[in-house]
Structure 1
C-alpha cells in the first residue's frame, strides 16, 4: 500500500497529515505529489471534485515554503469564497507543525481592511477569488515579487464564471519566472488555452477519463410533468429517510423559493445563493456541515467549494446547460471514496439532454420511477425501525425516568407497544400519501397522447404562439420573461406555455382562452420608454403549447401541503405556490 511517507514529504507535514487521519493518498495525490515536489515544472492535473486535489498541491507547496521569508511566495486562485476558505483552512491544518505560517484568504463579502491588515503583517500564501484580489492589487497593497508558485484551482469553473480577463490581469502582475500549477475537473478549450499561454511544457496528469464523472456515483433520472416537479422532489426525499443532500437550481430565486417551501412542508432545509451575506452563508454552511440540515438548496456558483464528505445525494431540480456543470454538481457526492447518487428530475423534453450527458461522461443513467405512496411509507417505517435499533442509549441519564416509563407502559404487551411506537411517525406519512397519484410520465410512441417529447397538451392545439419585441438584449432570461408576462397580463404562470427567448425579440405561447386578454393587455404598453408590440407568430397561429417554461423550470409550483399536517403545532404550511401577476400566491391545496 502506498503511504504518504513514501512520497517524500518532510516529517512536520507528515505529522499533521497523520493527525488529520489520512492513511494513504488518493490517486491524484499519489501521482501528483512526487512530481510537484520537484518544484520547477509547470503542471496540469485533471481529476474530479472530491478526489483530494487540495492536498495534492497543498502538501508539496508547504514542503517548499520558506517560513523565514515573510512575503507572498504562493498565490492560489479559486472561483468562490467557500472554496477559498476551504483551501485556506486545509493549508492551515497541513502546516500546523511548520512554525508561524501565515495563510491569508482573500475573498469578497468580508472586510477588505482586515484582509489588507493580514497581508501587511506578512503572508506566506495568498488564497484568493479573482475579483477581490484585483481590488487589493488596484490599491497597491500587495507585492508579488517573491511569488514562486501560481496555482489555479477549479480552473474550468473560474472560466465558466467569467473570470478569464481577471485571471489574465492577475497573472500578468506575477513574476515571469515562476511555476504554474493548474487543477481542473474538466478540460474545455478555454482551460487548454490558459495552459498554452502561461505554461512551459507542463506535466499533464489525468486521473480517470477527461470530463468523466466519479466512478462511485450512480446516476438516475425521473421523468415527470412540469407541474409535478416539486411533488416528485418531496417524494424522492421522503423515499430516502437518511438523505443528506444538495438540491441544485438554476437561479437564486428558485433556490430561495424551493427552500422556503420545503421548510414550510416540514423538512430541515435552507438555501445557499449569491444574494446572501457572508454571515448568512457561513451560518447556513455551518448548519449543513453539522448535519443540522437535511437538504441544502443551492445554485451552481454558491455550491462551489462545498467540501462535505458525507453528502449522500445530489438532486438536479433543473439540468444545467453545460455538461461540465453537471459533472461539478454530481461531484458534491461520492467524495473521499464514498458512494453517492446523482438524481435529475426532468420533463420529457430533457431526455435528449440526459443522453448527451451520458455520451460525454461515458456513463449510463438509470431511468427510475417516482415511488408511489405505499413505497414511501414503507421506507419511512423501516427507516424509523432502523433508527430505533441503532440508537445509542445513555443508561446513566435515562435511569431516573425508567420506573415511570415502565409504569406507563405496563398494561401493554410488547407487540402492542411496538405497533403504537411505529405508528407515531408512520401515521403521518400514511395519511399524507393515502391517495397519492402516479407522478411518472409514461413513454409512448412519438406523437401519441402522453408522448414525452411532444407532451399531450402540445398535441392538443390549445396554445397560441405570439411574437413580442423584447428579448435577451433587454436583460431578460426566460424566468424574467415569464414574470413580465404575468405582471403585464394578470395571468397565472400555468396559462403561459413555452417561451423562446431570442436577442431582440421572443416567442411565447398562451392558452387560447386567454388570447384576447393578452392582446388587450399589451395595448399602449411601454418597456424602458419603448413601445411593446405583440403579434401572432408567422409560423402558425395555433402551435402546440404544453406548459413548458424552458429555463424557468416548468410551472414553478413549489408549495405542496405540509406532509405532517395531522399534528397540532406542525400544522400549517402548504398550498400550491403559483405565479399570479409575478408574485407567489397560496391556495391551501394539498399536492401529493
Structure 2
C-alpha cells in the first residue's frame, strides 16, 4: 500500500456514508466536516443501527462516543411519535449539555426530532414544561431524572433505548442504586447501550443483570493513557508543593491548563494565592452555585482564564479543547482517576503534557499509575530560578518580534519616538523594556532555592517478589471489594454517625455522599456504608476522621434547618 497515491489510500478508510446512516445524518456530519468515523464510531454505529442489540463500548474520553450513540439514536427513533423513546443518562450537568449540543448539530436536517436536557441546579418546572411539549430523546443526570420520575413528570414506560454514558464515572460518584432504579423503570426497552472508559466489576454486574448477551467493543486498551501525552513528574518536599507549582507555571509561559487538587479547600487556597500574584486563574469546586460555575467555565473556554483549578468531582464532564497542560498538585487517591485527569489534554491529534508534583513517599503510587496507563513517566527537575527567567525572556522576545504592527497608524508616531529616544542607545531601550516586563519577576527568582529532592528511590522486595519503593508514614494495606478501592489502617476501624438529614430533605445516596464530603473536606475512602431513611441517616466512618466530620457538619444549617450530627453509639 506504500506505493499507492494518497487519494487511493484514503479510499480504504470507512466514511459515515458507508455505515448505513440516514442520508440526512450523513449530510449533517459532512457539513460539520466529519468524513471518516473514529474507531469507536466505526465499530459501534453498524451494531446500534439495528436498535435491538445490547452494547458495551469501552473507549477513553475524547474518542467521539457521543456521535457513536447519538447518530444511531436519531436513526432509529420514530420522529412522528411525540413521547420519550430514548434516554441518555450521564454523570454531570456539563456532559448532559454537551451531549444535547452535539445531537442538535447531528439532527440539523431532522427538524421534527426534539431533544432536551434535564439536570439539577436549575428550575425543574421549566424542564417539566419542555417534556410536556413532546420530545423523543431525553438526556439526563441520575438525580434529576429520579426527581422527575417520583413527581410523575416523565413516563419511561415507552422508552425503547437507554444509553449509559461515562458509566464508570457514574459508579465512582455513587450512582449505582440510581442507575439500577432507572433500568428497572424502563421495562419495555429494546436495547441498552453502555459506554465507559473502564470496566470495573460494578459495571460487569449491571451488564449481567440488565443486559442480554451484549456486543462488547474495545477501542485501545482500557485504562491506558493517550499516547500523545507526555507524562512528567517532579519530586519535592511536601512544604514546597506550592512553590513547585508556581515555578512550573512560570516555566511554561503559554500554558492553558487544569490544575487538580484533592480537596476544595486546596483548590480555593491555591486560587487565592495565585490570583494575588497576578495569575489569570479561578477555581471549580462543590461550593459554587450553578451560575458561578457557568461563569468560571465560560471564562476558561474563551481563554479569559489561563488556568482552572478543580477537584475531581467538580471537573467531571468538562470537555474543553486545546488544553496544553494538566498539573496534578497531588496524585489522586484512586490511581484510575489519573487517566481521567490526564485525558483532558492531548486531544484531537494534539500533544499534551501531564505533570505530577509528588513527595518521595508517593513514588510507589506513581509506579502503580505508570503500570496501569502503560506509558513511560519521565522524572524531571524543577527548573531553577535562572531557568525560569531565561524561559520567560525568550517567550517575551518571541512575542515582541511576532507582534502585528500592520493594523495601526504607527508611522505617525515614529518621528516622535525617534526624537524622544535620540540620545538612548538600542541596548538601553531593550534593557528598559525588559525591566518594565520582568522587574518583579527577576526580584522574585534572583535568590530562589533549589526545590528538587535528591533522594534515590529505595526498593525492597515484598512477599510476591516484586520490588517497590519503601513508603514512609502510616503503613496501609489495600484491598478491592467489588472493584471499589478501600484503604484500612492497621490500627483503625469504623464508627457510626447519626445525622438528622434524609431523603425527605431532597437527598439521594450519591448527592448525600457528596454533600458530607464537601462539607468536611474528607476523602471518600474514609467512609463505609451509608444507610438513608426518610428523616435520618447513618454514616460509617473511620474513627480517626469522625471528629473532623462532626465538627464540620454539626450545628450548620441546611435549607433553614439546623443539622445534628453525633456518634450514634453515644445517643
- TM-score class, shorter-chain normalisation, is 0.7 to 0.9
Aligned to 2:299, the other structure's residue is in SS state: helix
Residue 323 of structure 2 contacts residue 346 of structure 2 at CA under 8 Å; is this kept in 1?
A: yes
2:543 aligned with 1:504: yes
Question: Deviation of residue 8 (structure 1)?
Answer: 2.9
Distance 1:7 1:224, change over 3 A: same
Partner residue of 1:169 out of 175, 181, 196 = 181
C-alpha separation in 2, matches of 1:180 and 1:393: 58
Rounded Cα–Cα distance in structure 1 between residues aligned with 2:521 and 2:129? 45
Per-residue deviation, residues 542-579 of structure 1 (Å, max 9, x unmatched): xxxxxxxxxxxxxxxxxxxxxxxxxxxxxxxxxxxxxx
RMSD: 3.1
Q: 1:441 aligns with which of 453, 465, 469?
A: 453
Contact 2:159 2:188 in 1 (8 A): no
For the structure 1 residues 444 and 33, does the alpha-carbon distance in structure 2 shift closer, same or farther, using more than 3 Å as the test? same
- Hey, what's the Cα distance between the residues in 1 that align with 2:451 and 2:32? 46
Equivalent pair of 1:372/1:437 in contact (CA under 8 Å): yes
Tell me the CA shift for residue 530 of structure 1: 10
Could you state the TM-score of these two structures normalised by the residue count of structure 2?
0.78
SS in 2 for 1:323: coil
Give yes or no for contact 1:469–1:506 (8 Å, CA) kept in 2. Answer: no
Deviation at 1:11, TM superposition (A): 2.9
Question: In the alignment, what sits opposite 2:384?
Answer: 372
Counterpart of 2:558 in structure 1 is none
Q: Structure 1 pair 199/302, CA: closer, same or farther in 2 (3 Å)?
A: same
Aligned to 1:586: none
What's the counterpart of residue 19 of structure 1? 31
- In the other structure, the counterpart of 2:232 is 220
Q: Is the 8 A contact 1:471 1:506 kept in 2?
A: no
Distance 2:117 2:246 in 1: 38
Tell me the residue number matched to 2:508: none
* CA drift at 1:430: 1.7
Q: Does 1:300 align with 2:312?
A: yes
> Which residue is equivalent to 2:270?
258
Alignment of 1:247 onto 2:259: yes
Q: The residue matched to 1:395 in structure 2 has which SS?
A: coil
Checking the alignment, whether the CA contact within 8 Å between 2:158 and 2:189 is kept in structure 1 is: no
Residue 367 (structure 2) aligns with: 355
- 2:82 and 2:278 map into 1 onto residues whose CA distance is 52
| Structure 2: distance between partners of 1:401 and 1:55 | 54
The residue number in structure 1 matching 2:111 is 99
Deviations 1:413-436 (A, max 9, x none): 555444433443233322211011
How much has 1:143 moved relative to structure 2? 1.4
Work out whether residues 309 and 334 of structure 1, in 8 Å CA contact, stay in contact via their aligned partners in 2: no
Distance 1:43-1:408 versus aligned 2 partners, 3 A rule: farther
- 2:149 is aligned to 137
Distance 2:155 2:411 in 1: 64
| Alpha-carbon separation, structure 1, partners of 2:28 and 2:417 | 48
Output the CA distance in 2 between the equivalents of 1:411 and 1:193: 81
1:201 corresponds to: 213
Q: Aligned partners of 2:274, 2:281: CA distance in 1, in Å?
A: 6
Cα deviation for residue 473 of structure 1 reads 4.5
- Displacement of 1:402 in angstroms is 5.2
Deviations 1:83-111 (A, max 9, x none): 11111111112212211432211111011
Cα deviation for residue 297 of structure 1 reads: 0.6
Q: Is the 8 A contact 1:263 1:269 kept in 2?
A: yes
Match of 2:325 among 280, 302, 313: 313
Deviation at 1:23, TM superposition (A): 4.1
Structure 1 match to 2:480: none
In structure 2, the CA distance between the partners of 1:39 and 1:528, relative to structure 1 (3 Å rule), is: closer
Deviations 1:282-327 (A, max 9, x none): 1000001101111101111111111112011111112112122111
The answer to which of 9-18 and 309-318 deviates more is: 9-18
Q: Say which SS state the counterpart of residue 234 (structure 1) adopts.
A: helix
CA separation of 1:140 and 1:33: change in aligned 2, threshold 3 A: same
Match of 1:568 in 2: none
Partner of 2:129: 117
After superposition, the Cα gap between the structure-2 partners of 1:479 and 1:347, relative to the gap in structure 1 and judged at 3 Å, is: farther
Decide whether the 8 Å contact of 1:470 with 1:506 is kept in 2: no
1:52 aligns with 2:64: yes
- Kept in 1: contact 2:146–2:182 (CA 8 A): yes
Assess if the C-alpha contact under 8 Å between 2:89 and 2:142 holds in 1. yes
Tell whether 2:354 aligns with 1:342.
yes
* Matched position secondary structure for 2:542: coil
Name the CA distance, whole Å, in 2 between partners of 1:163 and 1:531.
29
Q: What is the aligned counterpart of 1:155 among 162, 167, 178?
A: 167
CA contact (8 A) 1:134 1:166 kept: yes
Match of 1:65 among 64, 77, 80: 77
Measure the CA separation in 1 of the matches of 2:567 and 2:187. Answer: 51
- Aligned residue runs from structure 1 range 473-488, under 5 A: 473=496
CA distance in 2, matches of 1:5, 1:409: 65
Does the aligned pair in 1 maintain the 2:166–2:196 contact within 8 Å? yes
Q: In the alignment, does 2:47 pair up with 1:8?
A: no
Secondary structure of the 2:341 match is helix
Of 435, 438, 462, the match for 1:426: 438
In 1: Cα distance, 2:496 partner to 2:401 partner:
60
Measured after TM superposition, the shift of residue 183 of structure 1 is: 0.6
Q: Distance in 2 between matches of 1:63 and 1:345?
A: 47
State the match for 2:401 in structure 1. 389
Kept in 2: contact 1:251–1:299 (CA 8 A): yes
Cα distance between partner residues in 2 of 1:428 and 1:338 = 34
TM-score for both structures, normalised by structure 1: 0.75
Instruction: Tell whether the 8 Å contact from 2:263 to 2:521 is kept in structure 1 after alignment.
Output: no
In structure 2, the CA distance between the partners of 1:87 and 1:507, relative to structure 1 (3 Å rule), is closer
Instruction: Using the TM superposition, give the Cα deviation of residue 7 of structure 1 relative to its aligned residue in structure 2, in angstroms.
Output: 2.6
* Counterparts of residues 22-37 of structure 1 (less than 5 Å): 22-37=34-49
In structure 1, what is the Cα distance between the partners aligned to 2:160 and 2:128?
Answer: 21
In 1, Cα distance between the equivalents of 2:83 and 2:413? 62
Unaligned 5+ segments in structure 1 are: 457-466, 483-500, 509-526, 533-592
